[in-house]
Structure 1
Amino acid sequence: MTMDPESIRTGERVPHGGDPDQSLLDFSANTNPRTPDGVESVYAEALEASRRYPDDSYADFRDAAAAFVGCEPAQIIPTPGGLAAIRLAMELALEPGDDALVPAPSFGEYAREVHLQGATPQYIDADSLLEVETSLLESCALAVVCTPNNPTGAAAEPDALAAFAARCGDAETTLLVDEAFLGYTDLPSAAQLEHDHVIVARSLTKLFGLPGLRAGFAVARGDRRDDLEIARRAWSLGTPAARLGAYCLRQNAFVRETRERVTSERARVREALETECGFDVHPSEAPYLLCDVGERSVTEILASARDTGVVVRDATTFRGLESHIRVAIKDREANDQLLAALETAMDVSGGTSNSSGGAD
């Protein structure tokens, strides 16, 4: 299991949200503006414990993660963030020359990671991915599902996902389910599906407002679980990430409050974006909203919002989106600043047409 050298030489980075300027209010990255009470003291204790190597068994982290998604602790594979779980799964499932079914528009790293393995992404509309039949799956070594999808916010219906997983099994296709934002919903994890060909990737740092910590995990069963466990790097989580991750995953009240706040604010912000800004806003079950700004210039909207101290995501960099921005859902005060900035931006941008966006 190794990346294809030629694919590395011809590969490239992909754009993401997030702005390093701490003076700006950042709505381009979909992270919780709040963290659970007590994380500072947990981190301080973990920092002192970092004078030694981590315990590579990660027993406490596995216990907390398993309880959170509803599986056995042995199924948990600790990784430094959800993207590390995605790469590990693709290293296991793909070889040069393989095809992988990838949703679009969706997270640009899927196609990049497929390319790095020397494989080829076969794009399919994200909204119709779960309708793909066995005949198409038989030509693909891997299929990727993102739920809720980034950037659209649509979540996979559990029965439809289970049926799709069964067809992947019939086709002997590995199914990778990226649940980076599923913690914002009450939907069950695909970790509860009893299929050995399903691998789940989770990122817990978005929900708990600690994206710089780099903590996540994969979930698998059977031989794939064994292969992932053997292939993961030794000490794959630093001590602070492991201890804070385990602590956060047990903060049930914080998770409930976050879900309620995001649900309420998402509905309020969506209505304002539609009525006050005239955007066509996609329905979402995630902590972000994808907005079609129509004939107005995305570039001008982004620049105007930034002039007021607010950063939003240029969604034209997602495959197939040419007139879109994506905005995160924060707390009420911050969301009000976002809405004010975008209303001002709409006055400034006028009706200028958009140019074509990027590929991913």
Structure 2
Amino acid sequence: MLEHNLPLKESIQRLSPAVHGGLIKKYAQKHGFDESEILDFSASLNPMGTPFDYFSTKYNIDHLLAKALKKIHQYPDNRYYEFRKAASDFLVDYLTTPENIVPGNGSSEIIRLVVESVVGPGDKVLIPEPTFSEYEVQCNIFGADIVNIKQEDVNELTDEQLKDIKILFLCNPNNPTGILRPHEELEVLAEKCMENNVLLFVDEAFSELSDPTQSIVDIALNNDHVFVLRSLTKSFAIPGIRMGFGVTTHKMAAFLNDARLSWNLGSIPDTIATELLSMPGGYNNEYLVESRELIAQEREYLFERFSNIRGFEPIPSDVNYICVNLDNFLMDSTELFKRLAVKGILIRDCASFKELGTSYARFAVRTREENEKLAESIGDVLTGWGKEQARAELRDTMEKVAEGASLGRTTCEYYPCHFEDQDCIFCFCPFYPCEDERTGGKMVDRSSGGKIWSCQGCHVIHYKDVAQDVLDILMNEGDNEENLKSAWKRVMEPYLC
């Protein structure tokens, strides 16, 4: 029987699935949590909760759902005039009209619409990295050639670099770094893109949670080479209801509205989005103003907590998430993700972002109580890691002794950390944390919150006779918990009495 290739483009067969929506269920089941118990720091949503939580009396989700369900027996009006009118009014400081608005079923659909409308096989698109991976995914689907540069090189782009480029993608504030480019910077870039016939696609999905005054909606209204994307799912903390919109010139919007999938908003997202966009004050409504104040306050608090964790190097952020460099941390982002998941906390492992890899992790800014739990859980992870290192060091030491090595040594990289002639058989103490202050150790404040046992004042395990006696017992009887307790009682206790 002849084998046939699938009748699909190779670019489609190379895609990887989007999985975020299933992470909570996966790790809740894996580690025995109820899904409601998982703290998801990987999703950068408004920490205020939904407007339905905030305005418990003004906005009622059940009422809106009932209103939407009355329309399910008919096709939506594909013009979505009420939605487009609400979206243009939402942008209160701009001369936006419904004719400038392109409605979308979330940001991903709008990205695909623009790419499909602009890019063909072999066309070049420019994507500064690191950034949101969806741009590259959608461009690959339509056979584009991806050109990557670094984020910091965007302002230095030359006409030669922009030659033959169809779209330049920018996320502002950038995901995952949280850096916000100022309006005047993008104004210069927009002019350069227009001169080189390049579409500047600016993703402002987090604008309402950052500084909306830096938006370039005003430029998009009058420049056919600028398209601005706005997403409502992050700002209103409702990712389960897909809704967003694009802003561009009347001419561009008309063509894109003809090209988008017909009836791309069902009655539920259409009804809910229209209602939320119609809040008095637009993006300066009471809910979003207080959201930005909360985010600024909690971001500062979380940044300070992160700065006090040894090996954590947080990047200053302008939005509701913080990216952390882990190059000098005890574990990479993938390992940290796994260990926090065991505690019911999900973070964003940045391994999938170009330019970052496993050296970075991203953390959403949440409420004070949740942020404290995150910091304390990172501290617990470090304590657990210390215990594991002690056991691994012990096993390695015992294997070397069994092979005839002499480990009464002064070759430790920290020698001498306490006194001359110390014995470094046990660099990581096998009894950690003993919590016995007779050793000279004590409980200290942990930089990430809470208390932790410090061995800094303990010399006991570094005395040659003590170290050798402990090692002899464990070599003869094994390194399990019971024998560790026995070694403590038989060797350490008499010394401390």
Same fold (TM over 0.5): yes
Q: 1:54 aligns with which of 76, 81, 87?
A: 76
Which residue identity lines up with residue 266 of structure 1 in the other structure?
R
Counterparts of 1:319 and 1:39, CA distance in 2: 41
Which secondary structure does the structure 1 equivalent of 2:70 belong to? helix
1:102 equivalent to 2:127? Answer yes
Counterparts of 2:16 and 2:268, CA distance in 1: 31
CA deviation profile, 1:13-34 (whole Å, cap 9, x unmatched): 3665873332311111111240
Does the C-alpha gap of structure 1 residues 223 and 59 become closer, same or farther in structure 2, counting only changes over 3 Å?
closer
Does the C-alpha gap of structure 1 residues 130 and 241 become closer, same or farther in structure 2, counting only changes over 3 Å?
farther
Greater shift in the superposed pair: 160-169 or 338-347? 338-347
Native 8 Å contact 2:24 2:40 kept in 1: no
- The within-5 A match list for 1:197-208 is 197-208=225-236
Native 8 Å contact 1:203 1:217 kept in 2: yes
Counterparts of 1:176 and 1:18, CA distance in 2: 29
Which secondary structure does the structure 2 equivalent of 1:49 belong to? coil
Q: CA deviation at 1:211?
A: 0.3
Number of residue pairs the alignment of both structures matches: 349
- The within-5 A match list for 1:1-360 is 5-13=9-17, 16=20, 19-21=23-25, 22=35, 23-33=37-47, 34-36=49-51, 37=55, 38-40=59-61, 41-69=63-91, 70=94, 71-188=96-213, 189-193=215-219, 194-251=222-279, 252-295=285-328, 296-297=330-331, 298-322=333-357, 323-349=359-385
Counterparts of 2:249 and 2:82, CA distance in 1: 19
Native 8 Å contact 1:64 1:246 kept in 2: yes
Counterparts of 1:331 and 1:122, CA distance in 2: 39
RMSD value over aligned CA atoms? 2.0
Native 8 Å contact 2:90 2:277 kept in 1: yes
**Structure 2: runs of 5+ lacking an equivalent:** 1-7, 26-34, 280-284, 390-497
Native 8 Å contact 1:100 1:140 kept in 2: yes
Which secondary structure does the structure 2 equivalent of 1:122 belong to? strand
Counterparts of 1:273 and 1:136, CA distance in 2: 38
Q: CA deviation at 1:112?
A: 1.2
Q: CA deviation at 1:307?
A: 1.8
Which secondary structure does the structure 2 equivalent of 1:106 belong to? coil
Which residue identity lines up with residue 285 of structure 1 in the other structure?
D
Which secondary structure does the structure 1 equivalent of 2:211 belong to? coil
Which secondary structure does the structure 1 equivalent of 2:165 belong to? coil
Which residue identity lines up with residue 6 of structure 1 in the other structure?
E
Greater shift in the superposed pair: 262-271 or 69-78? 69-78
CA deviation profile, 1:256-295 (whole Å, cap 9, x unmatched): 1111101110111011011135411111112111011224
TM-score, length-scaled by structure 1: 0.91
Counterparts of 1:81 and 1:102, CA distance in 2: 20
CA deviation profile, 1:303-338 (whole Å, cap 9, x unmatched): 221122111111122111131111101112211111
Counterparts of 1:340 and 1:316, CA distance in 2: 24
Native 8 Å contact 2:100 2:247 kept in 1: yes
Counterparts of 1:292 and 1:75, CA distance in 2: 40
CA deviation profile, 1:44-99 (whole Å, cap 9, x unmatched): 32123323222222122111211223322111111100111111111111111111
Which residue identity lines up with residue 27 of structure 1 in the other structure?
F
Native 8 Å contact 1:17 1:28 kept in 2: no
Which residue is equivalent to 1:355?
none
TM-score, length-scaled by structure 2: 0.67
Greater shift in the superposed pair: 88-97 or 30-39? 30-39
Which residue identity lines up with residue 363 of structure 2 in the other structure?
V
Which secondary structure does the structure 2 equivalent of 1:123 belong to? strand
Native 8 Å contact 1:18 1:28 kept in 2: no
Which secondary structure does the structure 2 equivalent of 1:150 belong to? coil
Which residue is equivalent to 2:418?
none
Higher relative contact order (CA 8 A, sep 6+): 1
Counterparts of 2:178 and 2:154, CA distance in 1: 15
Counterparts of 2:376 and 2:243, CA distance in 1: 34
Counterparts of 1:245 and 1:349, CA distance in 2: 46
Counterparts of 1:52 and 1:156, CA distance in 2: 43
| Paired-residue identity, % | 34
